[in-house]
Amino acid sequence: MSAYHLDAKLAQQIVARTMQIIDSNVNVMDGRGRIIGSGDDQRLGELHEGALLAISQERIVDIDEGVARHLHGVRPGINLPLRIDGLIVGVIGLTGNPAQLRQYGELVCMTAEMMLEQARLLHMLAQDSRLREELVLNLIRVDELSPALMEWAQRLGIDLNRPRVAAVVEVDSGQLGVDSAMAELQQLQTLLTTPERDNLIAIVSLTEMVVLKPALNSYDRWDADGHRQRIDHLLSRMTETGRLRVRISLGNFFTGPGSIARSYRTARTTMTVGKQRMPEQRCYFYQDLILPVLLDSLRGGWQADELVRPLARLKATDNNGLLRRTLASWFHNNVQPTATSKALYIHRNTLEYRLNRISELTGLDLGNFDDRLLLYVALQLDNDHG
């Protein structure tokens, strides 16, 4: 493990902490003997020859009045090497009578080394967290895992063979402002990163986070209902804290190469389609929206233009949307006339009249399965259809 480099900020923290322990000026020197932290601001940046001796000889160096006169930038005192993993990363110098300081020196040195070790661990954790996020961002974008990506995961202790399903979490930043939304996302990330959950998480943008959840339950089965319950539970917990408006979408579960990227794409599209169709809802599941999600990729293409052409003819005449609502209800009730009439509170003859009118305006025969399918797909692609 590489040694953590001693920087000026940490050096000054060591000075502040150790000067509370002993009534003496404290200097902290880096690995090249330069003072980077001191109780005396004027000494910052000076080269400390006592520290150079401690580094080169790898030992504690006492400096009395006589020796101090022959060294540049040195006052009487004691200089103790600071070590991490056995490597000297700097020196801590205490000003005063070396004989009196000896008894405190070891304690002060130990305190400083503990602070160094803690800073190093925090640095490693932050680095580990950043690398994990970066790995997740790669996983949701690539259709094939490269050897480099597999090695990267291995080093982080992540098992890429474990099946995962993607969930997208989106924050309504309009409610909070971007900075607050980002802070909330990070808080939610911490909540979802507990080791027992084994979630892989990354913040994708200022308002979006992706969670790669272990897909299988304790019996090694895909349990969609179990995932629904956990998402509902999470949303209710977040509602209790009452600070944030969040939407969550769960994608489809795939196996094989590129499964994570495919799952993420379905989760992303499920979010888009869910917000269009059910803006009042806060969680969307791919399984509930399979057809509109799959058709969404046609948007903007010539195929979608062709599919919605008959519906466009209907829209041109159906100003108040009555015929489209009738058509949607007819499909919703599995093209059963009695159930549709009941749902719309109209007579069967009225329904028949409206369906005939729809046939006339679209040029499609509603008795023909292909024509029915065309109209059904057109309705699914229609942005105004909820």
User: Which domains does the chain show, CATH number per domain?
Assistant: 8-124 (3.30.450.40), 141-295 (3.30.70.270), 298-381 (1.10.10.2840)
* Burial annotation 171-188 (CB, 10 A radius, 16+ → b, else e): bebeebeeeebbebbeeb
Band (345; pLDDT cuts 50, 70, 90): very high
- The one-letter amino acid code at 305 reads D
Q: Is the pLDDT of residue 262 over 70?
A: yes
Band (4; pLDDT cuts 50, 70, 90): low
Q: What mean pLDDT is reported for the chain? A: 85
Strand partners, 214: 164
Q: Is the pLDDT of residue 359 over 90?
A: yes
The pLDDT, as a whole number, for residue 177 is 65
Rg (CA), the chain: 34
The pLDDT, as a whole number, for residue 1 is 37
- Strand order of the sheet with strand 283-285? 200-203, 208-214, 164-171, 246-250, 283-285
Tens digits of per-residue pLDDT, 268-282?
A: 999 999 998 888 898
The pLDDT, as a whole number, for residue 365 is 94
Band (192; pLDDT cuts 50, 70, 90): confident
Give me the mean pLDDT over the 58-74 stretch: 79
